[in-house]
């Protein structure tokens, strides 16, 4: 990085941590937007992805609120511009800025902008906040200096509106995209479990809204670190119409240990008249929703969990193992029995597993098989590794949200050594 200028401004009282080495970013010319695009974004990405202090750490774009400081609309605009650039950089772990600390999801570092107006010139500073230590990182930063004009000047004089979290009444999620909906509900339910001091465990869906409930259950089961003898949670999701073409989605989880709930808002698309199909060609139709496979527990003795899949169709079979994550069971020990498949997982010390049988309409079967191929296989010597990355669930959600490739599934929790009961 060229012509680096060390920024050592401590904006709050108290000591700030000194970063090893001169890690500052070049002073800008032109407009703040041009400075960010031409110099700052690339330099920030390089430092955050390569320097030992930041490598592998989580990052959020957007500074926390501070006494005596009011974020401006210009600050928010620059943060959105920077976040878009950082999301395209390999090796960075970028969290949403409004992600709370529940479940260990608080970003370790936050980067953002501070705009200062003055008679002798205006200044836009890039700063890094250590969220763990609660202090500014000195020796890391940069600034633009000049005279703001036009829209930038007006934005610098306008306080930024309070940021509403995704899924709130002021920022409802899109009902047409189930992936962020499931992610938001899973995060809220995880926080609810933590707040209630209730132990996590495998989650199965039992709800009229099977698409959202099923995706949320899979997300929770895959990412929660459960104890050796976890409770089985049953999830139900209900959508209630409210004013302003919105739906309130209420998720409730129950187990023998207790109950928790969470809610988010969704937009509801306005009803539009459907044009009559042309007489010379039939209107395209989606494949019918396939019948969901049915799962049942199988008693296979100590250090073994088993499941029966019926009928023995082209459904894919997945499993969330206790504290390990999500795996494909392709190639696992399988027996044919009366038109069904019996799959056995033999593993010393196994206490439980949550099985999911998923099938898709004809048009989506190839895509579903490709998704399964991206999962680690329990039978291929990968059982000692972690399960699938959570991003895999986004791909499944995308497939399930396509009306031309409907997806159906069934889930069951199985206990060892004596099997388990359907939930």
Give 29-39 pLDDT, tens digit per residue. Answer: 678 998 888 88
Segments making up each domain of the chain, as ranges: 17-156, 173-267, 294-415
User: Is the pLDDT reported for residue 28 higher than 50?
Assistant: yes
The enclosing H or E element of 242 equals strand 233-242
Q: State mean pLDDT over 168-191.
A: 83
Tokens of 253: 């989880």
The confidence band for 75, taking pLDDT boundaries of 50, 70 and 90, is very high
State the DSSP code for 189: H
Q: State mean pLDDT over 200-217.
A: 77
Angle between helices 391-401 and 365-373 (to 10 degrees): 180
Tokens of 364: 């989506």
- Pick the range with the lowest mean pLDDT from 12-26, 192-206, 249-263, 292-306: 12-26
**Between 320 and 23, whose confidence is greater?**
320
pLDDT at 113: 93
Give the separation between CA 343 and CA 205, rounded to whole angstroms: 22
Residue with tokens 């008249």: 273
The confidence band for 88, taking pLDDT boundaries of 50, 70 and 90, is confident
Q: State mean pLDDT over 165-190.
A: 82
The confidence band for 123, taking pLDDT boundaries of 50, 70 and 90, is very high
Angle between helices 391-401 and 210-223 (to 10 degrees): 170
State the DSSP string of 262-307.
Answer: EEEEEE-PPP-PPPPPPTTSPPP-PPPPPPPPEEEEE---TTEEEE
Give the separation between CA 271 and CA 288, rounded to whole angstroms: 23
Give the separation between CA 124 and CA 78, rounded to whole angstroms: 10
Give the separation between CA 285 and CA 310, rounded to whole angstroms: 28
Please provide the average confidence, as pLDDT, over all residues in the chain: 76
The confidence band for 103, taking pLDDT boundaries of 50, 70 and 90, is very low
Give the separation between CA 129 and CA 106, rounded to whole angstroms: 13
- Closest to 148 (Cα-Cα) out of 76, 80, 74: 74
Q: 256 with 423: CB under 8 angstroms?
A: no
Q: State mean pLDDT over 10-21.
A: 31
Radius of gyration (C-alpha) of the chain in whole angstroms: 25
Give the separation between CA 213 and CA 237, rounded to whole angstroms: 6
The confidence band for 410, taking pLDDT boundaries of 50, 70 and 90, is confident
Give the separation between CA 347 and CA 177, rounded to whole angstroms: 37
The confidence band for 65, taking pLDDT boundaries of 50, 70 and 90, is confident
Architecture of domain 17-156: 3-Layer(aba) Sandwich (3.40)
pLDDT at 277: 57
User: Is the pLDDT reported for residue 289 higher than 80?
Assistant: no
Proportion of the chain in helix, strand, coil states, percent, rounded to 5: 25, 30, 45
**Between 397 and 133, whose confidence is greater?**
133
The enclosing H or E element of 251 equals strand 246-255
- Closest to 22 (Cα-Cα) out of 135, 124, 141: 141
pLDDT at 321: 75
Q: What percent of the chain has pLDDT over 90?
A: 9
User: Is the pLDDT reported for residue 286 higher than 60?
Assistant: no
Cα–Cα distance list, 98 to 60, 265, 381 (Å) = 8, 16, 39
User: Is the pLDDT reported for residue 247 higher than 70?
Assistant: yes
> 254: how many CB neighbours lie within 10 A of its CB?
16
| pTM of the entire predicted model | 0.51
> 410: how many CB neighbours lie within 10 A of its CB?
22
pLDDT at 111: 92
User: Is the pLDDT reported for residue 134 higher than 60?
Assistant: yes
State the DSSP code for 37: I
Q: State mean pLDDT over 241-254.
A: 87
User: Is the pLDDT reported for residue 9 higher than 50?
Assistant: no
State the DSSP string of 75-136.
Answer: HHHHHHHHHHHHHTSTT-EEEPTT--SGGG-S-SEEEEEEEE--TT-EEEEEEEEETTTTEE
- Pick the range with the lowest mean pLDDT from 129-138, 187-196, 279-288, 340-349: 279-288
Buried b (16+ CB within 10 A) or exposed e, 47-82: bbbeeebbeebbbbbbbeeeeeeebbbbbbbbbebb
Q: Map residue 143 onto helix, strand or coil.
A: strand
Q: Which residues, other chains included, contact 51 with Cβ-Cβ below 8 Å and sequence gap of 6+? A: 21, 23
Residue with tokens 């695009």: 37
pLDDT at 215: 82
Give the separation between CA 364 and CA 350, rounded to whole angstroms: 33
The confidence band for 4, taking pLDDT boundaries of 50, 70 and 90, is very low
**Between 389 and 194, whose confidence is greater?**
194
pLDDT at 350: 74
pLDDT at 10: 28
User: Is the pLDDT reported for residue 12 higher than 50?
Assistant: no
Tokens of 26: 């070049």
- Pick the range with the lowest mean pLDDT from 83-92, 265-274, 288-297, 368-377: 265-274
Angle between helices 41-50 and 73-87 (to 10 degrees): 60
Residue with tokens 């060390």: 6
């Amino acid at each position: 990085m060229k012509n680096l200028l060390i920024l050592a401004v401590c904006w709050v009282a108290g000591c700030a941590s000194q970063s090893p080495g001169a890690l500052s970013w070049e002073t800008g010319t032109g407009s703040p937007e041009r400075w960010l695009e031409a110099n700052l974004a690339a330099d920030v990405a390089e430092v955050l992805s390569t320097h030992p202090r930041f490598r592998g750490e989580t990052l959020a774009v957007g500074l926390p609120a501070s006494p005596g400081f009011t974020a401006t609309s210009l600050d928010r605009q620059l943060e959105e511009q920077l976040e878009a650039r950082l999301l395209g950089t390999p090796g960075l772990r970028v969290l949403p800025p409004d992600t709370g600390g529940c479940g260990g999801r608080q970003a370790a570092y936050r980067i953002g902008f501070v705009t200062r107006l003055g008679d002798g010139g205006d200044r836009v500073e890039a700063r890094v906040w250590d969220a763990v230590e609660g202090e500014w990182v000195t020796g890391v930063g940069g600034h633009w200096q000049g005279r703001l004009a036009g829209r930038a000047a007006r934005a610098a004089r306008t306080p930024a509106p309070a940021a509403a979290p995704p899924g709130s009444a002021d920022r409802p999620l899109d009902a047409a995209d189930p992936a962020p909906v499931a992610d938001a509900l899973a995060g809220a339910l995880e926080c609810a479990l933590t707040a209630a001091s209730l132990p996590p465990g495998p989650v199965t869906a039992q709800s009229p809204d099977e698409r959202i409930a099923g995706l949320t259950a899979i997300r929770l089961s895959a990412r929660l670190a459960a104890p050796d003898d976890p409770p089985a949670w049953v999830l139900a999701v209900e959508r209630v119409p409210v004013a302003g073409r919105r739906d309130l989605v209420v998720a409730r989880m129950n187990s023998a240990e207790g109950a928790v709930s969470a809610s988010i808002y969704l937009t509801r698309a306005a009803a539009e008249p459907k044009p009559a199909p042309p007489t010379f060609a039939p209107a395209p139709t989606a494949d019918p929703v396939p019948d969901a496979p049915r799962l049942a527990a199988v008693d296979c003795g100590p250090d073994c969990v088993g499941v029966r899949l019926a009928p023995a169709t082209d459904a894919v079979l997945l499993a969330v193992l206790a504290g390990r994550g999500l795996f494909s069971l392709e190639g696992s020990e399988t027996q044919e029995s009366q038109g069904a498949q019996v799959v056995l997982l033999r593993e010393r010390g196994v206490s439980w597993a949550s099985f999911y049988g998923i099938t898709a309409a004809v048009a989506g079967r190839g895509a579903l098989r490709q998704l399964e191929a991206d999962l680690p296989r329990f039978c291929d010597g990968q059982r000692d590794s972690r399960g699938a990355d959570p991003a895999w669930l986004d791909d499944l959600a995308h497939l399930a949200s396509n009306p031309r490739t409907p997806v159906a599934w069934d889930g069951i929790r199985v206990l060892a050594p004596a099997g388990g009961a359907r939930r």
